[in-house]
Structure 1
Amino acid sequence: MTRIKIFPFVAFLFFLSASNAYVFAQCPGGTWQELAPMNEPRQEVAVAPVNGFIYVVGGLGGRSNTNEIYDSTSDTWSLGADLPMNTDHAWAVSLDGKVYVGGGSSNRVLAYDPNLDEWTEVASSIYEHGGTPAAAVIDGLIYVAGGSGGGMAGNELEVYVPIEDTWYKLSPMRQPRNHTTGGVINGKLYVAGGRPGNQDFLEEYDPETDTWTEKAPMPTGRSGIAGAVVGDCLYVFGGEGNPNDPNGIFWEVEAYNPQTDTWTQLDPMRTGRHGIYAAVIDNLVFIPGGATSQGLGVTGINEVFVVEVE
């Protein structure tokens, strides 16, 4: 067991698995902590964790090729090599010690090696997947669902096979969407919310059968959201287009348990935001940047949601 200090509070990180370290009978809540703000505030960023560091790439409201790195042990920020393109509303995942970033303004895909501080271009995706799609890794393969741009309908799903450096089309989602989010639980991909409108739609993809199944809708339909899997629960944060908030922001935190096909409404975010992306290290959900008002309302706020585990 490794103990790592998360400044300014202490948390114990077991590093068993970023998404499968815990099994919950009911999705637990958590507490929020404010961390060191980003040096370059941005929204519509792409975010992924590797070995205790969190990489925040691209975005609006700042340099759209920035690669800003957060050290979760020292609560400090630094800069990595710039992304070799400008992008926002992109997707990011971590796989085999690298950060993969794609979509946004083109179908280009690049992989960042933190050890070399270098970007390498890999095969372009079939679809553009702008407008913030859902992206996740299952069994060493990268799945990207939804998005917009390049004539997309918005329900497209494809998978990247790194060993072949090739993308393959898969069965499309039932519901077209962008500004969405998702996560993997027990080998299945869950995609929640999104646009057009503020959708409450949730569906599950089974890669074994290449099929989608509709699941219980989110209690609060929203888009411009962040999603994170801790244990066997999908947590969905924030969003844009709230008619009941003066800044048009959703503060909601809702968690989905696929074992019971139910949602739990939890205490709200410390700072409601949209245009956000989450990164998970053990039971810690980091959400850097985003916007605190509808449209362009960029912020450098960096906060962590600590899921309550025994």
Structure 2
Amino acid sequence: MELAKKANQYIERRFMQICQEEEFLQLSANQLIHLIRKDELNVQDEKEVYNAVLKWVKYDEDNRNHKMENILAAVRLQFLTPKFINEQIQKCDVIKKTPACKEYLAKIFKDLTLHVRTAVKERTPNIPRVIYVAGGYYKQSLDILEGFNIDDKTWIKLDRLIVPRSGLGCAFLKGHFYAVGGRNNSPGNSYDSDWVDRYNPILDEWMPCHPMSCPRNRVGVAVMDGLLYAVGGGECSKYHKSVECYDPEMDNWTLVKPMHYPRLAVGVAVVNRILYAIGGFDGSTRHSSAECYHPENNEWTMISSMKTERSGAGVCAMDKYIYVVGGYDGRQLNTVERYDTENEMWEFVAPMKLSRSALSVTVLDGRIYAMGGYDGQRFLRDVEIYDPITDSWMDGTPLTSGRSGHASAVCYNCYTQERNLAMDTDSIMNPSEQPSTSGFR
């Protein structure tokens, strides 16, 4: 049984390598379905699973095409983009030859574009996950990158940012950790940044990407449909309502429809393929207002306002809720409110123990991690963890040093994965032995 467990883990963690082997193409339809149904399958994008299925069918298309319908039901198509699904409907010969598959894809496409909430869960690869925290401010902008290992609850220092920055936004996309915008506030060298850098967790190194259309300090950053969105922010005394999105495959940025209001230190999150921009500061007013962006029609729509105006809050999404944590309304806040995206209502939940603005929040294992920030007197290293089931906060492992204006995201620790997975591959294919925002205030 121990060998079977190791074999399963090997297959789950190295699915993309396994797909290149002849043995993968020799799997029966039932064996393939058993494999791709696994929650723990380690893929960066569900497109990888879909393409593996197509490869398997095309290996013996005459005898396998009729099996495609049952196999396709095991692919988590709900996490593909509408653009990709539409391309498959229009261009994929295998799909076009199977009317039932075409109808199924058309239904998924419709649900995605109508933002229908799915009961299908995202995959949870059985590899270490790490909370990465980048940049920040303490006396000057910082070039820190560190990772929190959830298993042993320790912080480790990683390759430093290319330039120090605070007020940046970060996100994890297709195997890389992105640092976007911010400000280099250093002695004799202070400027707002249009820089975008990409960190490779396997190589522990940074590479520059194409810059944004303009500098964006205290920017909101989120991922939707495989694209990286940079929302609002500011440059010197200019406050942006502009929004742009980055395509990592093309390495370019495209401006989309601007928001209704300029928003510095805005919080952003995505639920059901809708991008939400919440709070912020426009140079004269601190906002309680919020708006959402629909990619289908490239339009922003105002939604219900928060109960409290705030900028520099930590914002994240979990299930159907968007949580807004702390921030600043003339004083640092410990209050937390959440928006029910289905019922379109705001409600307060349990407050943090500490008041703080310019913190960073992220979600891991159904809990919210609120890290660092500024309480009006101190730059905090304190971490608090929110459990929505008990509606309570508990203390977490502190950051290595106090800071504000940093950003964070949860990443798969690919380096640890590769290092820890040395094992014999003989008979491994036998299925019987068997997947933020930041600101200063």
Q: What is the TM-score of this pair, normalised by structure 1?
A: 0.81
Aligned to 1:101: 230
Task: Tell me which of 113, 125, 135 is aligned to 2:268.
Answer: 135
* Cα offsets for 1:47-91 (capped at 9, x unmatched): 111111111111111551111111112110010111110110110
How many residues of Structure 1 are paired with residues of Structure 2 in the alignment? 273
* Cα offsets for 1:13-51 (capped at 9, x unmatched): 9569999849xxxx9983211100011111100111111
Whole-Å Cα distance in 1 between the matches of residues 43 and 352 of structure 2?
A: 29
Shift in Å, 1:241: 3.6
Q: Which moved more, 1:253-262 or 1:28-37?
A: 28-37
Preserved contact between residue 288 and residue 306 of structure 2 (Cα < 8 Å) = yes
Whole-Å Cα distance in 2 between the matches of residues 2 and 51 of structure 1?
A: 15
Preserved contact between residue 227 and residue 245 of structure 2 (Cα < 8 Å) = yes
Aligned to 1:32: 155
Shift in Å, 1:271: 2.4
Pairs within 5 Å for 1:294-305: none
Preserved contact between residue 367 and residue 387 of structure 2 (Cα < 8 Å) = yes
Pairs within 5 Å for 1:52-63: 52-61=175-184
Asked whether 1:121 is paired with 2:251, we answer no
Whole-Å Cα distance in 1 between the matches of residues 387 and 43 of structure 2?
A: 22
Distance 1:47 1:262, change over 3 A: same
Task: Tell me which of 208, 214, 224 is aligned to 1:79.
Answer: 208
Aligned to 1:161: 294
Q: Match of 2:372, as an amino acid?
A: G
Distance 1:20 1:142, change over 3 A: farther
Asked whether 1:240 is paired with 2:370, we answer no
Distance 1:28 1:171, change over 3 A: farther
Whole-Å Cα distance in 2 between the matches of residues 262 and 28 of structure 1?
A: 22
Aligned to 1:191: 324
Whole-Å Cα distance in 2 between the matches of residues 3 and 227 of structure 1?
A: 30
Preserved contact between residue 182 and residue 193 of structure 2 (Cα < 8 Å) = yes
Preserved contact between residue 58 and residue 87 of structure 1 (Cα < 8 Å) = yes
Whole-Å Cα distance in 2 between the matches of residues 203 and 104 of structure 1?
A: 22
Preserved contact between residue 192 and residue 203 of structure 1 (Cα < 8 Å) = yes
Preserved contact between residue 91 and residue 103 of structure 1 (Cα < 8 Å) = yes
Which 5+ residue runs of structure 2 have no aligned equivalent? 1-11, 16-39, 45-78, 80-120, 126-149, 185-190, 235-239, 415-435
Aligned to 1:2: 13
Preserved contact between residue 379 and residue 403 of structure 2 (Cα < 8 Å) = yes
Whole-Å Cα distance in 2 between the matches of residues 13 and 177 of structure 1?
A: 40
* Cα offsets for 1:105-154 (capped at 9, x unmatched): 21000001111111000000112121x22211100110111111155441
Aligned to 1:43: 166
CA root-mean-square deviation: 2.9
| Overall identity of the aligned pairs, in % | 28
Shift in Å, 1:221: 0.8
Task: Tell me which of 386, 391, 409 is aligned to 1:279.
Answer: 409
Preserved contact between residue 194 and residue 224 of structure 1 (Cα < 8 Å) = yes
Aligned to 1:226: 360
Task: Determine which structure has more spread, i.e. the larger CA radius of gyration.
Answer: 2
Preserved contact between residue 20 and residue 231 of structure 1 (Cα < 8 Å) = no
Aligned to 2:432: none
Structure showing greater relative contact order (alpha-carbon pairs closer than 8 Å, 6 or more residues apart): 1
Whole-Å Cα distance in 1 between the matches of residues 279 and 350 of structure 2?
A: 19
Preserved contact between residue 254 and residue 264 of structure 1 (Cα < 8 Å) = yes
Q: Which moved more, 1:268-277 or 1:169-178?
A: 268-277
Asked whether 1:249 is paired with 2:379, we answer yes
Asked whether 1:266 is paired with 2:410, we answer no
**3-state DSSP class of the match of 2:161?**
coil
Q: What is the TM-score of this pair, normalised by structure 2?
A: 0.57
Shift in Å, 1:283: 8.0
Task: Tell me which of 289, 302, 309 is aligned to 1:176.
Answer: 309
Aligned to 1:305: none
**3-state DSSP class of the match of 2:317?**
strand
Preserved contact between residue 257 and residue 300 of structure 2 (Cα < 8 Å) = yes
Distance 1:28 1:126, change over 3 A: farther
Whole-Å Cα distance in 2 between the matches of residues 2 and 79 of structure 1?
A: 28
Task: Tell me which of 331, 351, 356 is aligned to 1:217.
Answer: 351
Whole-Å Cα distance in 2 between the matches of residues 283 and 206 of structure 1?
A: 32
Q: Which moved more, 1:156-165 or 1:57-66?
A: 57-66
Distance 1:116 1:44, change over 3 A: same
Preserved contact between residue 41 and residue 124 of structure 2 (Cα < 8 Å) = no
Distance 1:221 1:163, change over 3 A: same
Distance 1:193 1:271, change over 3 A: same
Distance 1:229 1:28, change over 3 A: farther
Moved over 6 A (4+): 16-20
Whole-Å Cα distance in 2 between the matches of residues 271 and 118 of structure 1?
A: 35
**3-state DSSP class of the match of 2:154?**
strand
